[in-house]
Amino acid sequence: MTNDAIALEVRNITKRFPGVLANDRVNFDLRKGEIHALLGENGAGKTTLMNIIYGLYTPNEGEFFISNGEGLQQVQIRSPHDAIRAGIGMVHQHFMLVPVFSVAENIILGQEITRGPSLDLRTARQKITQLSEEYGLEVDPDAIVEDLPVGVQQRVEIIKALYRNAHILVLDEPTAVLTPQEVENLFRVMRQLTQRGVSIIFITHKLKEVLAVADRITAMRRGQVVGTTTPAESDEHKLASMMVGREVILTVEKAPAKVGDVVLEVKDLNIVDERGVEVVRQVGFQVCAGEILGIAGVQGNGQTELVESLTGLRERKSGQVVLGGKEIPELNPRLNVEAGQAHIPEDRHKHGLVLAYSIADNEVLCTYYQPPFARGLQRDQKAVMNNAVKLIERFDIRTPSPNLPASNLSGGNQQKVIVARELSRPIKLLIANQPTRGLDVGSIEYIHRQIVDMRDRGIAVLLVSAELDEITSLSDRIAVMYHGQIVATVDPDKITRAELGLLMAGSSLPTQ
Amino acid sequence: MDSNQKVPNQPKFLRSILDVLLNENLWRTILVQVMAVLLALLIGAIILLISGANPIEAYAALFRGAFGSPTAIGRTLEKATPLIFSGLAVAFAFKAGMFNIGAQGQLLFGAITAAFLGFALHGLPPFIHMPLALIGGALAGGAYAIIPGALKAYRGVHEVITTIMLNYIAINVTDYLANGPWKDTSPGNVVARTPVIDPAAAIGKLGPVPIGFIIAILAAFVVWWLLGKTTTGFEIRMVGLNPSAARYAGIKVARTLILTMVISGILAGLGGAVETLGVVGRYQPGFNVGLGFDGITVAMLGKTHPFGVIPAAILVGAMKAGSSEMQFASGVAKEITDVIQALILFFVAADVIMRSLLRMGKAGGEEVKLSTGWGKQ
Amino acid sequence: MQKSMTTYSPWNRFFNRNRGILIGGLAVFVIVLFFYIWIPMETVAVLNATVRISTPLVLGALCGLMGERAAVINIGIEGQMLMSAFIAFLFNVWTGNLPLSILAGVLTGALLGLLLAFMAVTLKIDQIIGGTVINILAVGLTGYFYSTGLTAKGGLGPIIIPVLSDIPLIGPVLFKNPPITYAAIILVFVIHYVLFYTRWGLRTRAVGEHPRAADTVGINVYKMRYVNVILGGSLAGLAGAFLTLEAIGSFERLMTNGRGFIALACMIFGRWTPLGSWGAALFFALFTALATQISFMFGETVNIPHQVWGILPYLFTILVLAGVGKRVRSPAADGVPYTKE
């Protein structure tokens, strides 16, 4: 599988952005036929490094070397064009596929085959089918990409790279959107590719995956390479320490739950999306005071729509939502807030914050019209300021002033602003949707602590997350969502990861 | 966070004025805007040279016609008044992310409504008649603006095309009214226009300063208060900056969009009413054509801030006031001021150029998304 | 494995998706036939007027969609038409050479397209403001440089295609037209082909839907946008030349009268496709021509003020856009400036 011949090497790569040194004298090499994992938390510089290797960024300093069959040859990579010519292909975390084009059109884009002036899609289809069979990646060349499930779209991205004769493949966080079974599938494909001479760089922040599939592991922290090791010589704790630079507690310590009355009850919820597709089907569950109900499931199984309905942002076809004994009508977010609901949204830039507004204004985004922040039409700026000052101190938000726009803050601090706003109201229910996505380990730990804290104070918590570790460590009960339905509700202590994976993929457990 | 954040015990009003004057960002912004105007004038001068005119002579005459005497200044302020209103109208709509090019049509309806209320009613005391005509004109503008507002809020139709279509419709309708049922039938009149308004409805002057100008300044203050200090303004700005977050915060986005257009229309209508009652004395078709675009230039030059609109309007008004003198004294066609206006708009919008010329950093401030497609947003 | 959406035959897809329009077109044809048998002269007049009115609209819509398919919104079509009309007119006055004048108009449109591209792609100014700059600039420059008393040495007369033009009904309407009118119709099909069947078209559409994806496969997003907007501008220029050289014969201030914006509505109604825009333009033009014809025929008997007819095109445009509403989907990246990182 691997030999010691090097396929790609970069030396002394340095990349500066205004205010941040994203890559600091990075040396990295990839051996032929190996799977080399690049590990680091968000902001460590791994995506920057890969974007440099793929020609999307130009480094301030550094050199590239590619194997030319006999030895290493220095090359210039200044654009994706150069990278493609050097045999490098990249599968980005957010797919670079044109949604309205077909699979074939996406694959040939930029390297189109023509017959005279026209596109020759027939030949393209043939070539794609050939590649598809050769590597075991099933795709339909004429399917429209936006209709395809995420796992298939990923296959299209891989074929796109192979179509361009890539023998070095970079995969950026490929497992974020896959079920555990699909992840296994992907690993199988990766091993097949390496057997055919493709060398793979695999970027991730998930320790278990790295140990499962990598031949070598390089950890990055704050723009620098911290070390390189192999799965044999390492384990989750050592890797986590390399990533973060200190001892990391991988599980959250929590006392057993003191469960109270039912706070949120959802009955027979049905939601249909804009295209008429049923996305939530007959969903019903309860969340009690003092407990955390985690909703596990791969993204795209209706969780987003469920949460939007519960928070008043999406209409429902039928069903009831009862909060604190009162039925909540649809499409009235303000009523939800006034009934004691708090929400940490999935997309903090879209729903959680107005980036151009000051931190102080963001802290009153939901309550700006209530006294003391306003009396009738007139707002009270002083009250808003005082509130912000208090929250900044209580939640340790790193900022020199509450008047700065929220866009100035780091991702972690932005999330803290949202958490501060939501948790400082008198609330009965907290809905946390992907609350730690894209955050550094320190912020993740902080937010987990806050969530457990709320639960210990008697607040009902509904946690929706695609990170299985987060769900299993925080939840008191887990409901698994698949294709819009709750397929099972389980006790996290009594179920294995593998079994959870099966449920998330829609299979039933052998004993059930 | 250190405790130096406590506000010192000075008179609040004085402190806020000092804050404004000492704000470095503000001076930088003003510098950039001034540079834009100068560059526009420079290129205008080049065009004048190409067409065989003497730019220095022309600009001197322009300046004379705008500021050369108290009458000239009065004329400038007179021209600036409707520009302040349309600038405010456009700037206000901007804050919610909407482009109200229909200020012209709303202004026309405001003007003709005020004219109607002015000539149709008699025997009312001035302190009733004048405000009545003003409010009538303002409401007419606001009502006309409901159309593009509702179309945008409920049907997702981008207001650029609808407001321009409505402008053309407004020109036709007011034309018809001035030529038909509301025509001036006094002996000797053949032109299409409405009868002169009752003197009780007229707006006068305070020395050389038209009272209409003062009303405009007051309107700017009201807009400033509304946008910056009220919950309504908070909501409107949020809708412009991040409609998804606004929805989540419980704001009814559709209603806010319509409200914004209505207020914008009220401002434009008020401008038309003030022009009728204070300057022209009746409604005459062909008056103030093209003010839709002027409003945009003024709003952008004033950085869409109510207090920025005032000096911007005075500048553009000065060009309009001085252009007759320029045409008369140096033979240069008036339309060169339109060209200069377009250039000002260009340089103001391309402040990137200005900032790199002056070696400044990137601009801060709130950025509203205007053009995000025609249908689904 | 995901099943294929439809069989690949383009004709198949065309008939399936556009069933409604095809049936509507057939109905219109039958109605026209009926009227021709009843009042031949008026029918032919209306049809001729339809073709004449639709030409600048079609060209304007094509200009708009070329830019928007690459994600650049162009509301300056009105200004481009106006400026080109003026320049074409000037060239005709100076040289009397019609082909040269048409070329001058086309180049003017292309030049203004270059300006718009510069503003939108390089300076990343908000595209609506960029278009407004072009509109005000055109009004100002044409107003400034125009002096009354200019007369043109003749305009473009119709080119009569032999034999075909003798076919009753469609003969005089379709085959006795001046050159730009023919060019417009030909361009509809050419652009349709280029946009949907060639490499250039695929890349343009990619740049308009997901520019970053295009960038990552090595396509130069900036260049694609520049070229599309400039080419589109030349179409608007052709429309301007049409106005002064074929349709009206002289220049008037503000003569475009909103056509540039109505063209945008045609583009939206036509769902950003050349054939759709053509259909929308014909639809719109037919309506306008009918209204004018009716006002001639019944103008004596019923006293309707001429402004009523005047507002019809604009009112119609608003109603059409309101009807279409949110059901249209513009190219995904429409209006958003692209920044290469």
Write out pLDDT tens, residues C304-318: 777 788 888 899 899
Indicate if the alpha-carbon torsion angle A119, A122, A123, A127 is positive or negative. positive
| B225 inside domain | yes
Q: Which 8-state DSSP code applies to residue C325?
A: G
**Digit-coded pLDDT (tens) for A29-54:** 999 989 999 988 777 888 889 989 99
User: What count of other Cβ atoms lies within 10 Å of the Cβ of residue A424?
Assistant: 16
What is the CA angle B242-B247-B252, rounded to 5? 115
Q: How sure is the predictor about A510, in pLDDT bands with cuts at 50, 70 and 90? A: low
Q: How many cross-chain Cβ pairs, B to C, lie less than 8 Å apart?
A: 149
CB atoms within 10 A of CB C233: 31
- Confidence bin at A73 (pLDDT 50/70/90): confident
Which one of A49, A100, A129 makes the best mutation probe of the C interface by having the most chain C beta carbons within 10 Å? Answer: A100
Determine, yes or no, domain membership for B149. yes
| Chain C CB within 8 Å of residue A84 CB | yes
Looking at the structure, do residues B85 and B135 belong to the same domain, yes or no? yes
Tell me, yes or no, if A255 comes closer than 8 A to chain B by beta carbon.
no
B241 contacts in chain A (CB < 8 Å): 354-357
**Chain C CB within 8 Å of residue A148 CB:** yes
pLDDT digits (tens, 9 = 90+) for A354-392: 999 999 999 999 999 988 899 988 999 999 999 999 999
- Same structural domain for residues B32 and B111? no
B187 shares its domain with B44 = no
Is A91 a residue whose pLDDT tops 70? yes
Q: What is the percentage of chain B residues whose pLDDT exceeds 90?
A: 42
Do residues B89 and B39 both lie within one domain?
A: no
Instruction: Give ipTM to 2 decimals.
Output: 0.84
CA distance to partner chain A, nearest, from residue C309 (Å): 40
Residue of C nearest to B327 (CA): C144
Do residue B293 and residue C125 have CB atoms under 8 angstroms apart?
A: no
Q: Is A141 helix (H, G, I), strand (E, B) or coil?
A: coil
The helix (H) or strand (E) run that includes residue A279 is: strand A278-288
CB contact under 8 A, C126 and B349: yes
Task: Tell which residue, B320, B110, B123, has the closest CA to residue B219.
Answer: B110
Q: Which residues contact C173 (CB under 8 A, 6 or more apart)?
A: C44, C47, C48, C51
Is B320 in the same domain as B239? yes
| In contact, B157 and B93? CB cutoff 8 Å | no
The pair of three-digit structure tokens given for residue B170, joined into one six-digit string: 């407004």
Taking contacts as CB-CB distances below 8 angstroms, the residues of chain A near B367 are 356
In this prediction, residue C160 has a pLDDT band, given cuts at 50, 70 and 90, of low
What pTM, to 2 d.p., does this model score? 0.86
Non-local CB neighbours of A277 within 8 Å, separated by 6+ positions: none
pLDDT value of residue B292: 65
Say whether both B249 and B106 belong to one domain: yes
Domain ranges (residues) in chain C:
26-147+155-327
> For strand A168-172 and strand A88-91, is the pairing parallel, antiparallel, or unpaired?
parallel
Q: What is the pLDDT of residue C154?
A: 56
C158 has pLDDT over 80: no
Within this chain, do residues B37 and B182 fall inside the same structural domain, yes or no?
no
Categorize the per-residue pLDDT at B372 as very low, low, confident or very high, splitting at 50, 70 and 90.
low
Q: Which chains touch B (3 or more CB pairs under 8 A)?
A: A, C
pLDDT exceeds cutoff 50 at C1 = no
For the ranges A405-409, A469-473, C292-296, the lowest mean pLDDT is seen at C292-296
B269 within 8 A of B139, measured Cβ to Cβ: yes
pLDDT in tens, C268-295: 999 899 999 999 999 899 888 888 888 7
Percent of chain A with pLDDT over 70: 97
Arithmetic mean of pLDDT over chain B: 85
Q: For residues A178 and A15, is the Cβ–Cβ distance under 8 A?
A: no
In chain B, alpha helices (H): 12-21, 24-50, 55-67, 70-95, 103-120, 126-155, 159-179, 211-229, 231-241, 243-248, 253-275, 291-301, 306-330, 336-349, 351-357
Q: Is the pLDDT of residue A496 over 70?
A: yes
Q: Given CB atoms, is B239 within the 8 Å cutoff of chain A? A: no
In this predicted structure, the answer to whether residue A197 has a pLDDT above a threshold of 90 is no
| Among B230, B231, B241, beta carbon nearest to A354 | B241
> How does residue B359 score in pLDDT terms, banded at 50, 70 and 90?
low
Closest CA to B94 of B181, B24, B159: B159
Nearest beta carbon to residue C210 from set A98, A139, A143: A98
Q: Give the minimum alpha-carbon distance from C289 to chain B in angstroms, rounded to a whole number.
A: 18
B156 and C325 within 8 Å at the Cβ level: the answer is yes
Answer yes or no: do C1 and A140 touch at CB < 8 A.
yes
What distance in Å separates the CA atoms of residue B149 and residue B262, rounded to the nearest whole number? 7
A-proximal residues of C, 198-257, CB under 8 Å: 198-199, 202-203, 205-206, 209-210, 212-219
Judged by a CB distance cut-off of 8 A, whether residue A332 touches chain B is: yes
Whether residues B151 and B233 fall in one domain: yes
C214 contacts A105? CB cut-off 8 A: no
Selected for mutation to probe chain C from B165, B173, B319, B353 (highest C CB count within 10 Å) is B165
Q: Is the pLDDT of residue B373 over 70?
A: no
> Nearest residue on chain C to A48, judged by CA atoms?
C341
Query: Quick check: C3 pLDDT over 60?
Result: no
Q: Do B293 and C126 touch (CB under 8 A)?
A: no
Average pLDDT of the residues of chain C:
84
Question: Which residues on chain B are in Cβ contact (under 8 Å) with A351?
Answer: 244-245, 248
Inform me whether the pLDDT recorded for A97 exceeds 50: yes
- In this predicted structure, the answer to whether residue A462 has a pLDDT above a threshold of 90 is yes
- Range of the structural domain that residue B37 is part of: 24-53+332-364
Average pLDDT, chain A: 88
Calculate the CA A216 to chain-centre distance: 24
Cβ <8 Å between A332 and B230: no
Cβ within 8 Å of B, C 303-322: 305, 307-308, 310-311, 314-315, 317-318, 321-322
Interface of A with B in 367-396 (CB under 8 A): 368-369, 374, 377-379, 381-382, 385, 389, 392-393
One domain, residues B285 and B220: yes
Closest to C73 (Cβ–Cβ): which among B300, B341, B371? B371
- Tell me what the mean pLDDT of segment B186-197 comes to: 78
The DSSP bridge pattern shows strands A216-221 and A61-67 to be unpaired
Same structural domain for residues B127 and B271?
Answer: yes
**Better pLDDT: A176 or C262:** C262
Q: Is residue B14 part of a domain?
A: no
Nearest to A351 among B7, B244, B250 (CB): B244
Q: A341 phi and psi, to 5 degrees?
A: -100, 140
pLDDT for residue B85: 95
What is the CB-side half-sphere exposure of residue C247 using CA atoms within 13 A? 24
- Do B163 and B229 have their domain in common? yes
pLDDT at B96 over 60: yes
Q: Provide the pLDDT for residue B197.
A: 80
Mutate to test the interface with A, among C4, C205, C207, C217 (most CBs of A within 10 A): C217
Could you tell me if A42 lies within 8 Å of chain B, comparing CB atoms? no
Please say if the pLDDT value at position B45 is more than 60: yes
Q: How many domains does chain B contain in total?
A: 2
Angle between helices C274-298 and C40-69 (to 10 degrees): 150
Chain C CB contacts of A80 below 8 Å: 215-218
Kindly tell me if the per-residue pLDDT of A465 is higher than 50: yes
Mean pLDDT, rounded, for A336-353: 90
**Are the CB atoms for B295 and B132 separated by under 8 Å?**
no
CA distance A161 to chain B (A): 32
Model confidence at B377, pLDDT cuts 50, 70, 90, reads very low
Distance (Å, whole) CA B28 – CA B212: 31
- pLDDT > 70? residue A105: yes
Q: Which residues of B touch C126 (CB under 8 A)?
A: 349, 370-371
DSSP of C100-113, one letter per residue?
HHHHHHHHHHHHHH
Distance from C-alpha of A367 to C-alpha of A382, rounded to nearest angstrom: 15
Same domain, B87 and B128: yes
Question: How does pLDDT run across C80-128, given as a tens digit for each residue?
Answer: 999 999 999 888 888 878 888 899 999 999 999 999 999 999 988 889 9
Q: Quickly name the fold that domain C26-147+155-327 has.
A: ABC transporter involved in vitamin B12 uptake, BtuC (1.10.3470)
- The sign of the torsion formed by the CA atoms of A407, A408, A412, A417 equals negative
Determine the distance in angstroms separating the CA of A18 from the nearest CA of chain B, rounded to an integer: 12
* Mean pLDDT computed over B102-112: 92
3-state SS of A419-476 is HHHHHCCCCCEEEEECCCCCCCHHHHHHHHHHHHHHHHCCCEEEEEECCHHHHHHHCC
pLDDT of residue A468: 83
Question: Does residue A464 carry a pLDDT above 90?
Answer: yes
Do C198 and A109 lie within an 8 Å CB cutoff?
no
Confidence band, pLDDT 50/70/90 cuts, at residue C169: low
Look at residue C59 and tell me whether its pLDDT is greater than 50: yes
B125-144 tens-digit pLDDT:
888 888 999 999 999 999 99
More confident residue, A85 or C35: A85
